[in-house]
Amino acid sequence: MLKDYGGVLAREFRGDIYVPVSVQDCTNLLLEAHTKDRLTYRGAGHSMHGRSIPVAQNQLLVTSSLNQVSFCKDGFISVQAGVQIGVLQAFLNRLGWFLPIFPDAIHAGPTVAGYFLAGGFGSQSPQYGGFWDNVESITCILPGQSAAMEIHRSNDFFWNLSGSGGLINCFIFELKLFIKPYETSSIYPIGFTASLPTLQSDSSNPIIWFTLFTPLVNQNLLLRKYRGALSALSSVLQLVSPRRVIIKYLCRYPSLLAEFSDDLLAFSIGGRLSRNTLDSAISACQIIHALASSMASCVQYYSSELVLETLAKQRSH
Ligand SMILES: Cc1cc2nc3c(=O)[nH]c(=O)nc-3n(C[C@H](O)[C@H](O)[C@H](O)COP(=O)(O)OP(=O)(O)OC[C@H]3O[C@@H](n4cnc5c(N)ncnc54)[C@H](O)[C@@H]3O)c2cc1C
């Protein structure tokens, strides 16, 4: 049985699972994909929308073997899609460098590609913006295309993919990331390549999360709305403290946030489902949806989270 992090969406899967041994192996698989059934891609499975769980006729491509990091030029690294962001951060720290943006709550979990597609903020976001501000380019391939392409951050497609949560069928091999030294004397190990281990992340006590983005100036309004929804929310969720992250606006936001050009508040509401049923998850989605819709400038991170339509489909099966 394959699940996503929240444990709400799960599916029995008996199809083929590919763990490519090289980028070339992966390219061959993707080149054949237009004549085969569609592939489903899975990083660490930390997102909640169920898009990393294949339907019966699909094949599953797991990225855990794409685990290399290379130091290409001063201040940049090339990182393969399946490297877990917490593992990467720990590795860089030992060399005197750090990733500016990093999801603080889930150290071992998400992969770099997953974080680009379905995450993007952390406690350093008030200073360094979103993960999108710290990626120079991605190397990706569309199924059936004959070659991978490098998409620079100046390309609109980069911004469409960032935060799209896997809604666009495009496989990411590699990301070029900006890194920072702890001290100006930190030596950049140019030419050094390493394979990083994959750690099992703990999803034994799953929490479901919803994130709402709103301009920072709306912070108090959103907090009032949240308090107003607390009693309904606590009837379906054992709530944990909401998380507030300020995201500095640097130059551009991913397309899902394109309406904003100011610093944002990312407000994450989550908890354990009181009764582990689809109905509780549906109620939680409805309450969050109503909360988001009651504010003029508020965008929910739909592409990364549980959505009503998917849950309704699961119920009808
Ligand atoms: C407890 C918890 C706390 C969290 N806290 C934060 C936080 O503080 N900040 C934050 O920004 N986010 C947070 N998140 C969200 C988290 O960042 C995302 O769920 C995560 O980044 C997804 O990464 P993944 O490797 O697990 O991707 P998956 O869930 O495996 O995949 C996500 C989507 O991307 C697709 N995909 C995966 N890899 C590739 C690839 N190589 N090419 C193309 N498509 C691919 C999948 O098909 C799927 O649709 C949190 C999530 C949880 C569960």
First to last CA, the chain: 16
- The CA distance from 46 to 32, in Å, is 27
Which atom of ligand 1 is closest in space to residue 51's alpha carbon? 49
Same structural domain for residues 190 and 272? no
CA 44 to centroid of ligand 1, rounded, Å: 7
Same structural domain for residues 218 and 193? no
Domain end call among 204, 229, 247? 204
Q: Which residue intervals of the chain are DSSP H helices?
A: 23-32, 85-94, 112-118, 125-128, 156-161, 219-236, 278-293, 308-316
Q: pLDDT, tens digit, for every residue of 7-64?
A: 888 888 888 899 988 888 888 888 877 665 678 999 998 888 888 888 877 889 999 9
- The CB of 267 under 6 Å from ligand 1? The reply is no
Six token digits for residue 231: 């009693």
Name the least confident of 1-15, 61-75, 299-313.
Answer: 1-15
Same structural domain for residues 117 and 246? no
**Whole-prediction pTM:** 0.96
Query: In this predicted structure, what is the pLDDT of residue 35?
Result: 61
276, 277, 278, 279: CA torsion to nearest 10 = -120
Query: In this predicted structure, what is the pLDDT of residue 107?
Result: 66
Same structural domain for residues 142 and 256? no
Same structural domain for residues 40 and 138? yes
Domain end call among 173, 204, 235? 204
Same structural domain for residues 121 and 212? no
DSSP structure class, residue 47:
-
CATH code for position 114: 3.30.465.10
Same structural domain for residues 161 and 40? yes
- Which of 35, 77, 27 has its CA nearest to residue 196? 77
Q: pLDDT, tens digit, for every residue of 221-248?
A: 999 999 999 999 999 999 999 999 999 9
Residue 155 scores a pLDDT above 80 = yes
Q: Ligand 1 atom 2: the closest Cα is on which residue?
A: 106
Same structural domain for residues 87 and 168? yes
CATH code for position 221: 3.30.70.2520
Structural domain tally of the chain?
2
Same structural domain for residues 1 and 147? yes
Query: In this predicted structure, what is the pLDDT of residue 59?
Result: 87
- The CA distance from 174 to 55, in Å, is 26
CA 17 to centroid of ligand 1, rounded, Å: 19
Q: Ligand 1 atom 45: the closest Cα is on which residue?
A: 41
Q: Which range of residues forms the domain containing residue 274?
A: 208-316
Same structural domain for residues 175 and 306? no
Domain end call among 180, 204, 228? 204
How much is the average pLDDT of 67-87?
Answer: 95
CA 155 to centroid of ligand 1, rounded, Å: 22
Same structural domain for residues 179 and 275? no
Same structural domain for residues 254 and 198? no
Q: Ligand 1 atom 51: the closest Cα is on which residue?
A: 46
Question: Phi, psi (5° rounding) for residue 179?
Answer: -125, 165
**Rounded mean pLDDT of the chain?**
91
Residue 98 scores a pLDDT above 90 = yes
| Cα separations in angstroms, 89 against 19, 101, 164 | 24, 10, 24
